[in-house]
Structures are given as C-alpha cells and as structure tokens.
Amino acid sequence: MSDEPLADLVTRLGPERLEADRRYNDALTRLDRALPGPAALPSPPQPHDEQLVTPINERWDILPSGPPAAAGGWRGRLTAFVWRLVGPALEQQRAFNAALVEHLNRNVAAHRDSRRATADLLATLRTHLDARAGFESVLLQFLQRITPFVESKDRELAGAIAELRTVAELSQRAAVMAKREVERVAAGVAAPAGTPPAAPAAVVSDAYKYVVFEDCFRGSEADIRARMADYVGCFEGASGVLDVGCGRGEFLALLKEAGIDARGLDLNHEMVEVCRARGLDATEYDALGYLRGLPDESLGGLFAAQVVEHLEPGYLVEMLETARHKLRPGSTIVLETINPACWVAFFESYIRDLTHVRPLHPETLKFLMLASGFSRVNLVFKSPVPESGRLQPVAAPPPGDDSAAARLLAEWARTFNTNVERLNERMFTHLDYAAVATRA
C-alpha cells in the first residue's frame, strides 16, 4: 500500500481526473458527430407490368380468322396463290407471337412476386435501420448520462474523503495530545508560575477538536496567511507585538518572517502546542488576565483576528481599556472580526461556530474603541463576496422603442435593479472587517 498522504493523493489525482474527463468529452463529441443520418432507401418498384402486357395479349394474333377459305373464280385462285406465298411466314410469325406472349405472361407473375419480395425487403431493412438509429441515439444518451452519474459518485467520494480526513485528523490530534499529557504527567512537570488554574479535563481533552474545526471551516494555512498578509504593514518597525487568539500561528509566522518581534496568546491548549511545534512564541492564557500582568506601555502593537466575537461585551470593554494602557503611545491595534452587516457572513460563518458569543457591527466596534481612548479608528473591509455570488440585475430593454409596453418594461427593470443593488449592499458585501486604530 502506498505511503502517500491522502491529501497529496487527492491533489495529485485531481488533474488526472480532469484530463480523463476532457478526453471522455472529446470522444463523446466525436461519437455524436459520427452518428449517421436517416437512411435514404429507394422506393419499391411500381406495379405497371400488367398495363404493358395487356395490349400485347390483345394484339399478338395477327391471323385471328385463320387461313382464307377456298373460293372459286379468279379471285379464289388469286387468294390461294397469295396465301401460298405469305401464309407460311404469317403462320410462323403468329407462332412466334404466341410463344413470346406466353413467355411475357409467365414473367408478369414472376415480376409481381419479385416486386412484392423487394417491397418486403425494403420495409424490413428500413425497420432495422430505424431500430439501429434508435439504439445509437439511446447509446449516446446513456454515455452522456455517465458524466453526471460519475460526477455525483465523485461528489459522494469527495464528501466521504473529507469526512475521513476530518476523522483521521481528530484521531491524530487526540493521539498527540494524549501522548503529550502522559509524558508531562510521567515527568512530573509543574505548571509555570503565574499560570491560570487548569481548565477542566473535559475542556482540555476537547481542545484539539477546535483545531480541526478551524482546519475544516476557517481555511487552510495558506489561505489564512494570504488574508492576513496585509496586516503585517500595520506593525512595521514595531517590537513586542501581541497576537491575541493566535490560533495556529499564521500571523505570528508572518511577523517573524518580516523580522518583527511578536508573541502569541491563546486559551486553546492544542493551538498553543501547534504554534510551539512551529518554533513560535505562544502562551496559553486568557487575554484580559495576561494584559493585566504586563507593565504599562510595554506592548508595541496588538492584533486579534476573529477573536472579539467570542467575548462577552463586558469582557471586551475591559480588555480594550486595559490594552490601551499596555500599548505604547503611537502603537497600533488591529481587531478583525466577521462582518454581521453582511448576511452571507452572518449565516455562513458566524452561526456555524458554537463558540461565538455576540456579533459586532462595524460601527459598534468602532465606537467601543473610541470610547476606550483609541484614536483614528479606521474600518477596513475584507474578503468581498465574489460577483458570481451576488444577485444579478436584469438587462434593460433596448433603446428606440417608445411604446407604452417598452416604457413599462424599462421602469420595471429599473425598479428591479435598484432593489437588487440594495439587497447586494446588505447581503453580499464583505465577509470580514478590521478596526485599525492607534493609541494617541
């Protein structure tokens, strides 16, 4: 059995499947073009033999009354003389005509049977050709239906692979967590001084599940890095930046690559372990408790992505107030969260995560930051809904038609498109936003 990871196997087989689909569709197109059209068979022969033979049957006997009767006198002698001259030839011609007519009459019956057999053969051949054309059409339809059938099975397989990948990752995370905890207990490692009280065992044992949840729904590490790369410039030249809710450490890694000193904070034990395994500075602690333990004006910046929606309002207000005292003058704070003003973000992202406490409207978060003493709070909207996912307007009627019906249709189109635009402004705007401010 191959040791190739499942994800790599799926990635490698994807282009191969697409190429196979292309070749199949090309072959199907060639087959469709190669199907012959309806057969053009000749018509059966028309029954006109009897019409041709009937006059011959009526006229073949050139001597219907036989030889002339014997008569006296010079007329009789003359008639007998002429008959002796032409009579044998006429009798011979009459015999030939009789034989020919008999032959033709026999052939009429044979031609009639042949014509009937030819008509039956053509009818049978046409039936078989029509049946073959019908079979070829049904065969082509069957082949055309193979593609959606295979695609449906492919979707089922992809879903099963995704579920299997999730279960496998959960099992792997659980095994790593269990191994680490066993080693810690066996070594008798005491908790560092200042560490908050340990969470209940059930909470700790389930921490790895949220890591897998983020892997499944928040996006891959590459996707998160791409989305967070724009924030690095907000902390250029800073030191001592704190990433609250650092998660898997994507932003910590970006800051480290940019040469910016930073450390992360997260309540999820498994998230912290993931960061540490990547060589990042991360601590398992709650945000407010950690900030309270820092000296005033000791932080060079604070970053929190997809965190504030997990906090109770009172906790958030106190955290913002405390953060203002811990930040150095002129340092930057960036708080990114889901944009609940976008209905797609609310229904597709916010309500999916059971750990979310309260959505924060952009103007609400801006007000809370201003009220906590931060200045120049700017709202930066991120992750726009693609145009293909937005409501589409209808085409206006072509100009030039000034009829009452055309004017009414144009008015309907304007009203409809105005409503579409309004709905797009509310439902299909930006999935996330960030409140960026400085400490005056």
| Contact indicator for 288, 322 with CB cutoff of 8 Å | yes
Angle between helices 73-187 and 269-277 (to 10 degrees): 90
- State residue 125's pLDDT score: 81
Contact residues for 334 (Cβ-Cβ < 8 A; gap 6+): 231, 234, 301, 302, 303, 304, 305, 434, 435, 436
pLDDT along the chain (440 residues), means of 10: 52 70 76 68 63 68 66 74 76 78 77 80 80 74 69 61 56 56 58 47 45 54 87 94 93 95 92 91 94 95 94 95 95 95 83 84 94 92 87 83 83 90 86 93
- CA dist 239 and 237 (Å) reads 7
Torsion on CA atoms 217, 221, 223, 228, rounded to nearest 10: 110
- Is the CB of residue 262 less than 8 Å from the CB of residue 252? yes
Q: Identify the CA nearest to 434 among candidates 254, 233, 275.
A: 233
Q: What are the beta bridge partners of residue 337?
A: 433
Which amino acid is it at 355? T
Q: Is 345 exposed, middle or buried (0-12, 13-18, 19+ CB in 10 A)?
A: buried
Instruction: Give Dmax over CA atoms of the chain in angstroms.
Output: 170
Give the span between the Cα atoms of 216 and 165, in whole angstroms. 10
Could you tell me which of 150, 125, 119 has the C-alpha nearest to residue 17? 150
Q: Which of 409, 419, 317 is nearest to 358 (CA)?
A: 317
Specify the pLDDT at position 302: 97
- pTM equals 0.54
d(CA 2, CA 171): 20
For residue 19, the model assigns a pLDDT of 78
